[in-house]
Amino acid sequence: MNGLIVLGTASDSGKTMICTALCRILANEGVRVAPFKSQNMSRFSTTTEKGEEMSRAQFLQAEAARTTPSIYMNPILLKPVPGMKSEVLILGEKFGSVVGMTYREQFFKRGVEAIRTSLAKLAETYETVIIEGAGSPAEVNLNDREIVNMRVAEIADVPAILVADIDRGGAIASIVGTLQLLPPEHRSRVKAIIINKFHGDVSFFQEGIDFIESYTGIPVAGVIPFKANHGIEEEDVDRPVAVAPEGVDVYDEWASHVKAHLNWPLMKDILSGRE
């Protein structure tokens, strides 16, 4: 499959918004592109034209990709409900509520089948798939049954981009630590690093970029400045978004912001398998 997976050093590193930007950038270049997130745990969902329930985030990413949202873009949806439970939906079919590890035990095989089916369906229609991971790929206590990060990368056989949130601090350590915890076959998939949510003059971080590249051997594909009022509903945030002025396409604005700070030729080489 042609595409890539966007992984994060932690939750809320900005994977969703980076994927949204990549979908719009590629769509604007005439590429038939689709978003994909194998499993999303979120209170926020929406309904496709066919009446199927999927994550709001992948629905919006489909809009950014200028395509019709499909259940195959988010085959597994976990909706938190009271009692530390989650309602399980696989390809739109409801399986009731489960507690914690019970889900991993009961639905692992079914989930992997849904992922394979969905990726195959998307490959029939789209040239490129932008895959979003979840949390961190270095959660070693979960790796035996994870179905959101490197297992998906292996199924789709795509390269990976690692996103770190510098707004929180500790971005360099989180990058190095994440890569160190990945087994060699997974680490070799990581082709670039993106520093996200940067405040201030990027030139002041050049020494940091140099260290990351020399220590890890992986290029930094971009340092994305923090942008608060982008006007796009975020994955699991329940607050009003800024209203864009009439005639402004918020996806185009966000994509332009990200692309201006990316090494886009490098990203295209990664997508094409040349890097």
Mean pLDDT of 118-128: 97
Query: What is the third-level CATH fold of 3-272?
Result: Rossmann fold (3.40.50)
Confidence of residue 255 (pLDDT cuts 50, 70, 90): very high
* Longest Cα separation, the chain: 51
196 burial via Cβ count (<10 Å: 0-12, 13-18, 19+): buried
CA distance 70 to 58: 9
Mean pLDDT of 149-168: 96
Which of 77, 1, 87, 3 lies closest to 39 in space, CA to CA? 77
C-alpha 62, offset from chain centre: 13
Mean pLDDT of 163-171: 94
Buried b (16+ CB within 10 A) or exposed e, 110-126: ebbebbeebbebbbeeb
pLDDT by residue (tens digit) across 197-254? 999 999 999 999 999 999 999 999 999 999 988 888 876 665 555 567 777 899 999 9
pLDDT for the residue 11: 92
pLDDT for the residue 239: 56
CA distance 148 to 151: 7
pLDDT for the residue 240: 55
Question: Is residue 152's pLDDT more than 70?
Answer: yes
Contact 37, 134 (CB under 8 A): yes
User: Please, what is the average pLDDT of the chain?
Assistant: 92
Question: β-strand 39-41 against 76-81: which pairing, if any?
Answer: parallel
Mean pLDDT of 102-109: 78
pLDDT for the residue 108: 87
What percentage of the chain exceeds 70 in pLDDT? 95
Confidence of residue 21 (pLDDT cuts 50, 70, 90): very high
pLDDT by residue (tens digit) across 49-103? 989 899 999 999 999 999 999 999 999 999 888 877 888 899 988 887 877 667 6
pTM of the model: 0.94
